[in-house]
Amino acid sequence: MTGSFFGLQIGKSGIYTQRKAMDVTSHNIANANTEGYSRQRAVIESARPYMITSLVTPVSAQQIGSGSTVAKIEQFRDEYIDAKITEETSTLNWNTTADNLLKQVEAIMNEPGAATLRDQLDKYWSAWETLSTDASNTALRRNLVEETTTLIESFKEIDNQLRYLKGTPGYCAQGSIENQVQDTVTEINNLANLIASLNQQIGRSETNVNVANDLRDQRQLALENLAKLVNVDSFYNEAGDLTVNIGSHTLLQGITVKELSVVVKDGESASSIAGSPIYPELSDNADVATASLQYTAEQRNITLTVAQLAQAHEQYSYLTFHPLTGPLSNFGVTSGSFYVNGREFFLDAENTDMNGLAKMLDEANLNVDAFLNEAGQLELKASHTGKEFEITSSDGTSNLMTVLNLQTNKAAQDARFNFGGQEYFSSKNVVTDAIPGVTLYLKGTGVANLDLHPVVTSGTLKGLLEVRDGAIDNVLDDLNKLAYTLATETNQIHRVGYGLDGVTGRNFFAAFTSVDPNNSFKDYIQSMALSDEVKNNIEKVAAAGGTIEHPTDRLRTYNGDGDGSNAIRIAQLKFESFFNENKSNFNDFYNEMITEVATVSERYQREAEYSNSLMTQLDAKRAELSGVSLDEELANLIKFQHAYNAAAKVITTVDEMLDKIINGMI
Q: Which residues does 646 contact at the CB level (< 8 Å), separation at least 6?
A: 14
Query: CA-CA distance, 662 to 55, in Å (whole number)?
Result: 29
475 and 590 housed in the same domain: yes
Q: Is there a domain that residue 620 lies in?
A: no
434 and 320 housed in the same domain: no
252-305 confidence digits (pLDDT tens): 998 999 999 888 877 666 788 888 888 777 888 999 998 887 766 565 788 999
Tell me which residue of 389, 321, 316, 318 sits closest to 358, measured CA to CA. 316
305 and 325 housed in the same domain: no
Assess contact for 294 and 270: CB atoms under 8 A: yes
Q: Is there a domain that residue 342 lies in?
A: yes
167 and 47 housed in the same domain: no
Query: CA-CA distance, 440 to 446, in Å (whole number)?
Result: 14
Assess contact for 545 and 523: CB atoms under 8 A: no
Distance of CA 207 to the CA centre of its chain: 46
Q: Is there a domain that residue 468 lies in?
A: yes
Residue type, 32: A
What is the average pLDDT score of the chain?
87
> Which strands make up the sheet holding 289-293, listed edge to edge?
289-293, 438-442, 430-431
238 and 142 housed in the same domain: no
Write the DSSP symbol of residue 330. G
Q: Tell me the three-class secondary structure of 399-422, residue by residue.
A: CHHHHHCEEEEECCECEEEEECCE
15 and 134 housed in the same domain: no
Give the rounded percent of residues in the chain with a pLDDT score beyond 90.
46
Instruction: Please report which confidence band the pLDDT of residue 56 belongs to, taking 50, 70 and 90 as the band edges.
Output: low
Collapsing DSSP to helix, strand or coil, 491 comes out as helix
Is pLDDT larger for residue 424 or for residue 272? 424
Determine the average pLDDT of the residues in 495-519.
Answer: 84
Q: Is there a domain that residue 546 lies in?
A: yes
pLDDT at 297: 59
Tell me which residue of 582, 548, 510, 575 sits closest to 396, measured CA to CA. 548
Query: CA-CA distance, 373 to 290, in Å (whole number)?
Result: 35
Is pLDDT larger for residue 322 or for residue 222? 222
Assess contact for 517 and 384: CB atoms under 8 A: yes
> Which strands make up the sheet holding 256-257, listed edge to edge?
233-236, 242-246, 249-253, 256-257
pLDDT at 102 over 80: yes
Q: Is there a domain that residue 172 lies in?
A: yes
* Of the residues 389, 410, 431, the one at which a domain ends: 410
pLDDT at 443: 93
Phi and psi torsions of 279, nearest 5°: -60, 130
Assess contact for 418 and 550: CB atoms under 8 A: no
| Residue 516 β-bridge partners | none
349-405 confidence digits (pLDDT tens): 998 999 999 988 988 878 888 998 888 889 999 988 999 889 999 999 999 999 999
Most confident range (mean pLDDT) of 39-43, 204-208, 506-510 is: 506-510
Query: CA-CA distance, 268 to 163, in Å (whole number)?
Result: 12
Instruction: Please give the tally of structural domains in the chain.
Output: 5
pLDDT at 412: 94
324 and 396 housed in the same domain: yes
pLDDT at 78 over 80: yes
pLDDT at 48: 82
pLDDT at 72: 85
Q: How far is CA 105 from CA 302, 471, 534, in A?
A: 35, 9, 34
pLDDT at 55: 58
pLDDT at 79: 85
pLDDT at 619: 87
* Of the residues 402, 425, 454, the one at which a domain ends: 454
Q: Is there a domain that residue 371 lies in?
A: yes
Give per-residue burial for 342-378: e unless 16+ CB within 10 Å, then b.
Answer: ebebbbbbeebbbeebbbbbbbbbbbbbbebeeeebb
Query: CA-CA distance, 84 to 89, in Å (whole number)?
Result: 8
490 and 542 housed in the same domain: yes
Collapsing DSSP to helix, strand or coil, 42 comes out as strand
430 and 302 housed in the same domain: yes
256 and 281 housed in the same domain: no
428 and 289 housed in the same domain: yes
Burial of residue 455, with CB atoms counted within 10 A of its CB: 0-12 exposed, 13-18 middle, 19 or more buried: buried
Instruction: Please report which confidence band the pLDDT of residue 210 belongs to, taking 50, 70 and 90 as the band edges.
Output: confident
Query: CA-CA distance, 219 to 182, in Å (whole number)?
Result: 24
Q: Is there a domain that residue 85 lies in?
A: no
444 and 296 housed in the same domain: yes
Instruction: Please report which confidence band the pLDDT of residue 170 belongs to, taking 50, 70 and 90 as the band edges.
Output: low
pLDDT at 209 over 90: no
Instruction: Please report which confidence band the pLDDT of residue 452 belongs to, taking 50, 70 and 90 as the band edges.
Output: confident
Determine the average pLDDT of the residues in 554-571.
Answer: 85
Query: CA-CA distance, 258 to 252, in Å (whole number)?
Result: 6
Q: Is there a domain that residue 45 lies in?
A: yes
Locate the DSSP E strands across 172-288: 233-236, 242-246, 249-253, 256-257, 261-263, 272-274
**Other C-beta atoms lying within 10 Å of the C-beta of residue 639:** 14
Residue type, 8: L
Give the range of the structural domain holding residue 647, as residue numbers without chain letter. 6-76+627-662
Assess contact for 592 and 584: CB atoms under 8 A: yes
Give per-residue burial for 270-279: e unless 16+ CB within 10 Å, then b.
Answer: bbbbbbeeeb
